[in-house]
Amino acid sequence: MCEANAYLIKDGTEKVIMESVDILRAEDDSIYLQNIFGERVEIKAHVKEMNLVDHRILLVED
């Protein structure tokens, strides 16, 4: 499986915002995430790092 967990870095702390993400799309000023269960999140953030070997997506709030 190629899903990853998405974490939001805020005040130096990582918080899981979505597990099993399989779609990540950059929108105009936000990031759209969707997981294998059909759950969706849109957040004003940018990608800091994607480590697909470790199944981690790090986002920083704008």
**Per-residue pLDDT band at 30 (split at 50, 70, 90):** very high
Report the number of distinct structural domains present in the chain: 1
* Residue-number span of the structural domain to which 15 is assigned: 4-61
Whether the pLDDT of residue 1 is over 90: the answer is no
CA distances from 55 to 3, 29, 46, 48, 62 (A): 6, 24, 17, 14, 23
Residue 47 pLDDT level (bands cut at 50, 70, 90):
very high
Predicted confidence at residue 62, as pLDDT, reads 87
